[in-house]
Each structure stands twice: as C-alpha cells, then as structure tokens.
Structure 1
Amino acid sequence: MRYRILPVKNISRIKDAGDALISRSMGMPGMGLIWGPTGYGKTTAATWFINQCHGVYIQAIRLWSPRSMLDAMMRELDLYGKGMNNGQRVEAIIQGLAETGRPLFIDEADYVIDSQRLVDTLRDIHDLSSVPVILISMQGICKKLNRRGMEQFTGRIAQWVEFSGADMEDTQLLADGLCEVKVAEDLLEHLHRIASPKNKQNEVLGSAEIRRVLVGLEQIEQFARSRGLDTISEAQWTRGDDFFKGQAARPVPAGKVASIRSV
C-alpha cells in the first residue's frame, strides 16, 4: 500500500475550518473543535493540516496540571521556562504564539475539558495570543462542553467539525490512491458494508470506519499479491467477511497460475 494523504471529505472539512480560523476577522473567536469516534482519522487529518500551517501540536494526558500543559507548549515553541512561575510561562507562550502566528492544536482534549483550571488557562492563551486554538477529541466531548460554567469557553468555538465515516466515494478514492492492485467495485462495496456500524438486525447504520477500511484494503492487497493478481473482485476474494484478521494468504509458487481457493 502506498502512504499518502488523500482528499477524503473529512480532510476537506478540516482544511476549510482551519483556513476560516486563520483568516478570520480581527476580534472574532478563533477556537475550533474536531471530534468523532475513534478510527475515523481525526489525528491523521489534523497532522496533515498541522504540517500545512506549521501549527503547534501537543497531546494532553490525564494527569496534566496547568504546569504540565504549559511546559508541553513551551517545549513545542522552543521556549526555556526554568525558574518561571506559571504566570510567566503563560506570558512567554502568549508572546511566542503571537509573534509566530502559529495555530495551537491540542489532541486528546477531553483531558483539558475535565479540568476547569486547564480550561481557564487555555482560554487566556487564546484570548491574548489571538492565534487559532483547535481541540481534537472523542465523540463525548460535546456533552462535557454543555455543562454549566462552560459558556465562556464554548462561545469562543467558531468552527465545529464532526468527523464522519467513509462513504463509498471516499472508499473508492482510498482504494484507487493507496492500493497497488485494482480492487473491483463489488469487493469494495463488500468491504464498506463490513466496515460500517450495524444494528442488532445487522442493518448498516452509517458510513464505514476509515481505519477498518484501510486495514481491509491492506488485507485485500496482500491477498491479491500472494496470488499474482493485478485486479481482484469479490468472486476472487475467498475469505468472506474476514477483512480484518485471519490467516495470511499462501504465496503462489513461481511459474504457476494462481488458483482461487480458500486459505
């Protein structure tokens, strides 16, 4: 499989939101929120955009204190904080962000939202530096943001980007752009269906989890290569619904035609 970032819909949405925050009018709020279930490509998409805009990226952890958060920011900004108190650290960070104009990205932002002290500190950094501050989090963060006392913080969030799964158009784009074998449409539809959430009646409820689509495409490519196939259809895929685990396909001996049989 090739490694590259492709313009699936989530990538386009994060770029549009990030560009809007960077180019916003003076005095307008500059916070953004990217959220969605695990496996939907939030961190990958954010990393791509961070590289595009030369952003500052930090990943929150559960045991963060205000001092821990500020130290993480200072390291990424190449600032020296020895001997500073927290107030001086905040001032140094604000100055560093304001001078460079680099957007600040915080992954695993649930851990920040859980602490009012972290929330207040981050709000001050946003207000005084005037750079975009973009939070990346799991699906449950919206419930946390709706609790009492969060109004001043949520009022600063101008861009809300909920990540969705891959539809068939995205799935086709990923297969064409990443796979080094041709995956037929019927096999892609099968993979998309298996990678999508379902109810108790096994009915598809929404778009596919992107991580599972990528794992499935990797399995399909390995399976096809082991049989000397340049193109693979659903009829040639002999592993049924097993796109995410299972025994590796046996290689085809040199000089022999690949046979279609179960592994």
Structure 2
Amino acid sequence: MQTTNFRLLKEAEKIVERRGAREASLVLIQGKFGIGKSEMTERWASENGHVFIRAKKVWTPRSMLEDIAAELGVAVRGSAKDIENRITQHLAQTMQALIIDEADYLADMKSAAKLETIRDISDVTGTMVFLVGMQDFPAIVQRYEHIASRVARIVQLHPLSLADVQATCKAKAEVALSPALVEQIHRDSKGRMRHVLNAIANIEVWAETNSWTEVDVAHVKGKPLCTDFTGHIAANKGV
C-alpha cells in the first residue's frame, strides 16, 4: 500500500541520490502528529534496507552514537570518537540511508551538538540522512546555517486523502466496509493514519460481535469511530 506521503518520500530519495553536492545529503521530513510518519518511515526503511532509529529525549551525543552503532551491529566500546569512526566506516561501505524519527530531539534553542554529529557522519560518508520531525522541525534546523546548507530537500507530509483512506481500508480491514463508511472514517479521522487504524480496529470488533459481513454507516450510527482526545477534552469543558 503506497499513500501519497509514501510516494513523496520515494521522490525525495531519488532527488537526493542525484544531488550535485555530496554534502547536501540531509532530508527533513515534517508533519503533524498522528498522520503516520513513524509507521510509514519505519516500513520504508525495512523495505529498502535503510537504518531506522528513534531519537530519545534523554539522548546525549554519546548515547546517540551508542544506539546508532547498536542498530548497525558495530561495537560501542571506547571513546565517542571511536564509536563515531566505526559508524562512518560501516556506512561508507554499505551506503545505507539513515532515518532518524523524532528528530526534534536532536537540537533545540541551546544546542545542536547531536545534529552536528549527524551532519559530520553524513559529510564523511556521503550517505543520505532522513530526519523525521514535527511541523516546526525545519525552523529549528534553520537556526544553524552550517547544517541547513546541507539540506537537499524538505518533505511536507499531509493528512491522508480520501483515496489514501480507501486504500488503507482495503489493505487493512478484515471486514468489508461500504464506500459511505470509508468516507466517514476519512472525515472523522481528519486524515490521521493513527485514527484511521483505530477506526478500522473498532469496526472489526463490532462486526465480529454482531456477525456483520459488511459494515455500513447505519451499523455504526452513534458510535465513535475514533477518539479525538483533544476534541473530547474541549467538549467536556464546554468549548
């Protein structure tokens, strides 16, 4: 199943592969929460032999290198520089792309030390690095011009289109869903993959409980297909 966002990733990969400047190897992937960035990029990494890792808030430059090295299967002994050297040697040989999810944790207003280390690895190896962050992530990177100059592409991911939701329901749902119900899932989920998958799971439970072989809008009338936590809190506050 390839959504519009998945195709945008593949397009960005092709563009960076053909880049003129070797050091322009960073791709920033931005998007709002819940639209499926993590699931999609992890699947993309698995299908293409890329290295996928999630950044952590508690990362230091050293612990970041240790986690990357562990994912690559290289030793983590010695100094931070020793570990970085092993990582660069490995990536220079394999030319695997590095995908870092939750990349917002790599830099903030005070320091970009972790992001600079990633920049160094990319510069030395020439390997592509995809940094997956929230909507404001490119603005964070822009504060550091020496790193921003390495950005070859910024990919803006969008909420799922109706066609994307139709394809997702066809691929994921184990019970037949009417076109009208799929349209309702699209509306209620606001195009967020997380909510679409939750809606499908809820519908499957109801279908199994009631022995429905096909589910239409009438079957789920009055039932919450997917819970919007923000909307629920606002409603309870009378907003």
TM-score under structure 2 length normalisation: 0.86
Query: In 1, are the aligned partners of 2:189 and 2:226 still within 8 Å (CA)?
Result: no
Query: In 2, are the aligned partners of 1:53 and 1:102 still within 8 Å (CA)?
Result: no
| Structure with more relative contact order (C-alpha pairs < 8 Å, separation 6 or more) | 2
1:10 aligns with 2:32: no
1:243 aligns with 2:225: yes
**Residue of structure 2 equivalent to 1:47:** 42
> Which segments of 5 or more consecutive residues in structure 2 lack a partner in the other structure?
228-239
**Residue of structure 1 equivalent to 2:235:** none
**Residue of structure 2 equivalent to 1:231:** 214
Aligned partner of residue 75 in structure 2, secondary structure: coil
**Residue of structure 2 equivalent to 1:106:** 100
Shift of 1:221: 2.4
Q: Distance in 1 between matches of 2:48 and 2:182?
A: 34
Report the AA paired with residue 118 of structure 2: L
1:119 aligns with 2:102: no
Q: Distance in 2 between matches of 1:85 and 1:17?
A: 35
**Residue of structure 1 equivalent to 2:230:** none
Aligned partner of residue 44 in structure 1, secondary structure: helix
Query: In 2, are the aligned partners of 1:57 and 1:107 still within 8 Å (CA)?
Result: yes
Q: Distance in 1 between matches of 2:122 and 2:95?
A: 12
Report the AA paired with residue 86 of structure 1: A
Shift of 1:25: 4.8
**Residue of structure 1 equivalent to 2:28:** 33
Query: In 1, are the aligned partners of 2:23 and 2:126 still within 8 Å (CA)?
Result: no
How big is the alpha-carbon RMSD for the aligned residues of Structure 1 and Structure 2? 1.8
Query: In 1, are the aligned partners of 2:92 and 2:127 still within 8 Å (CA)?
Result: yes
Query: In 2, are the aligned partners of 1:220 and 1:243 still within 8 Å (CA)?
Result: yes
Larger Cα-atom Rg: 1
Question: Equivalent pairs: percent with the same residue?
Answer: 29
Q: Distance in 2 between matches of 1:73 and 1:167?
A: 34
Q: Distance in 1 between matches of 2:52 and 2:185?
A: 33
- Aligned residue pairs: how many? 225
Q: Distance in 2 between matches of 1:90 and 1:40?
A: 33
Report the AA paired with residue 3 of structure 2: V
> Which segments of 5 or more consecutive residues in structure 1 lack a partner in the other structure?
1-5, 197-207, 246-263
